[in-house]
Amino acid sequence: MTKLILVRHGETIWNAEKKFQGHTDIVLSAVGLEQASLLADRLALEKIAAVYSSDLNRAFVTAETVARRHGLPVTGLPALREIKFGDWEGLTYTAIHEKWPSQLSGLFTSPSEIVIPGGESFHELKKRAADAIAELVAKHQDETVVVVSHGGTIRTVFCSILDINLNHLWEIRQDNTAVNIVEYYDGRALIALVNDTHHLQK
């Protein structure tokens, strides 16, 4: 059995300010750094063989915090990045709504069909993320692997595993440093845990 521990990055200032991040390389906030430390505590006893991450700082630093406990390096993979929000990056919901009201509405009602100005589609995100995960699972047979990524990316991975329409994307919750576990048996995936953040409870 291959165990994939799929984690969303810690909080950034832009998360707190409700700004769209996408490929913009925003660092963790003080809260996010604390979340990453608590995540590392939680995963300290796992027998982790490798740690992979989106190459964006907010994910990579979260991954490094976990990997340090296990004496492991972090391998950054651009394919694990968040969706590219293009012209929306750095803007709040309100600012985007003022200029692109119909497109923003479509982001939440029909993400499968939305075209983000200057960005990419969720279909493109789903393909690159699913391909990357498949490669990692094939490479680490019968091992436990940590993959740190982003909320939108993780949601598309679940849509791919469950073979459900991307319009169900936002029905899957992903909080900062949420732990998700997917187990692979003979090529078949079993989702064993979703959006678990009990390590943040004090």
For the chain, the structural domain boundaries read 2-200
Q: What is the pLDDT of residues 180-202, one digit of tens each?
A: 999 999 889 999 999 999 999 96
Confidence (pLDDT) at 104 = 92
For 63, 144, 193, the CA distances from 136, given in Å and listed in that order, are 16, 11, 19
Q: What is the pLDDT of residues 57-87, one digit of tens each?
A: 999 999 999 999 999 999 999 999 999 999 9
198 flagged as catalytic: no
9 flagged as catalytic: yes
Confidence (pLDDT) at 155 = 98
Whole-number Å distance between alpha carbons of 58 and 53: 10
Read off the pTM: 0.97
Mean of pLDDT values over 151-168? 98
Confidence (pLDDT) at 1 = 96
Confidence (pLDDT) at 71 = 98
Mean confidence (pLDDT) of the chain = 97
Confidence (pLDDT) at 187 = 81
Q: Which of 123, 150, 168, 198 is catalytic?
A: 150
Percent of the chain at pLDDT > 90 equals 98
Confidence (pLDDT) at 94 = 94
Q: Which of 47-51, 102-106, 125-129, 172-176 has the lowest mean pLDDT?
A: 102-106
Q: Which three-class secondary structure state does DSSP give residue 20?
A: coil
Mean of pLDDT values over 24-48? 98
- Confidence band (pLDDT; 50, 70, 90) for 47? very high
Confidence (pLDDT) at 56 = 98
- CATH tag, 2-200: 3.40.50.1240
Q: What is the pLDDT of residues 137-154, one digit of tens each?
A: 999 999 999 999 999 999
Residue 82 · residue 150 · CB < 8 Å: yes
Q: Nearest CA to 83 among 39, 146, 43, 125?
A: 125
H-run or E-run covering 134: helix 122-139
